[in-house]
Amino acid sequence: MAAQQTLDAILVVGPSGAIGKALCQALIARKAEFKRIAFFNDTSRPETDEKQSLFATFRNGGMEQVSGKYTDTAAFTGFDCVLMPLGNHAIKYQPTIIDSAITAGVRHFYTSEWGADLSVGSNWTQRYYRDKVLTREHLEKRGRDTDTPDLGWTYIQLGRLTEWSIIKHFGVDNANHVAEIYGTPEGKQSLLSTPDAIAYTLETLRHPFSTTDSGHRRTYRFHGSSPTWEEIFNELETITGHKYAVTYRDVETAVEKEARAKRLGDVDLELEASHQLIQGRGGTLLSGPFDNGLFPNIHPESVHSVFERIFKDSETRKFLGVS
């Protein structure tokens, strides 16, 4: 039997983001299981007090800080896995990060996924997924290079993170209890909470694999639940005590919204419209088989429990648009 590998020296690129921060905190909590855990301080990015104090908590927790630019090969030396939880405007840098890290000897990548199955419906050609698709294509191309047959990757698929499903970007205004949804009340999406997504990601890092039969090129699919919009608004109304005035729009009208945003050069609006198209066409509904059973110690939190928790917490209330 071929030897099983584990990922023991981990570098997080994009540690100050929502997912990056949670990943770093989870790595710190389990640091005894790894040889090396580190985060990447991108020196080309603005240095804010908030970021510096966050990085200090990571260092105090036992993470190593690696500083440099994405083109600095030396910064990636000594790691066997790079995780890239990058924001919308940074996802396009992943091929550069991958090339620098490969040159430094890294052979495993977690790309900026943590979302839908890119291969279903029209997802592959959606604007929102453009740079995620280019990243996959780049990684898979490098994986065919004769000098890197051991190059591997992990894609984590879950649909939508529950906390994100009810924000302005998807048409939900929690301050005024109104919503404009591209789709229908029966439209479904798959939801998994961020803590569960992070917990599953950590388990996959510890999950051994072999490089035979493409065992080092992994896709995991984790499922929480798949409610309809109607069920989501029922939960929201129960938890907030407010009736939501919901308008459902023909999903295909988001095509025009996306084209208008493109003409205006408004990338964020373009991504929002593209996201609404994906959502409304059922692109974030994840189908099985799922990999939850590999890690039975994780019990995904219900949508009700997630909403209850995030409407109570002052930080997440801000994220939801309520003071």
Residues of this chain that bind ligand NAP (CB under 6 A)? 14, 16-20, 42, 45, 51, 85-87, 89-90, 112-115, 160-161, 164
CB 148 to ligand NAP: min, Å: 23
57/212 with CB nearer ligand NAP? 57
How many other CB atoms are there within 10 angstroms of residue 263's CB atom? Answer: 9
Burial 211-242 (b: 16+ CB within 10 A, else e): beeeebbbebbbbbbbbebebbbebbeebeee
235 token code pair: 């939960």
CB 212 to ligand NAP: min, Å: 29
CB 239 to ligand NAP: min, Å: 19
CB 20 to ligand NAP: min, Å: 6
160/257 with CB nearer ligand NAP? 160
Residue nearest ligand NAP, Cβ-based: 17
51/127 with CB nearer ligand NAP? 51
118/239 with CB nearer ligand NAP? 118
Q: Distance between alpha carbon 163 and the CA centroid of its chain, in Å?
A: 12
Residue 198: φ, ψ to 5°: -70, -45
**Nearest-angstrom CA–CA distance, 199 and 62:** 19
Question: H helices of the chain, where?
Answer: 18-29, 49-60, 94-104, 130-144, 194-206, 229-240, 253-264, 267-280, 303-312, 314-319
DSSP state of 224: -
CB 37 within 8 A of CB 64: yes
121/215 with CB nearer ligand NAP? 121
CB 2 to ligand NAP: min, Å: 31
CB 85 to ligand NAP: min, Å: 4
210/287 with CB nearer ligand NAP? 287
Cα-based torsion angle of the residue sequence 145, 148, 154, 155 in order, rounded to the nearest 10 degrees:
-10
CB 45 to ligand NAP: min, Å: 4
4/67 with CB nearer ligand NAP? 67
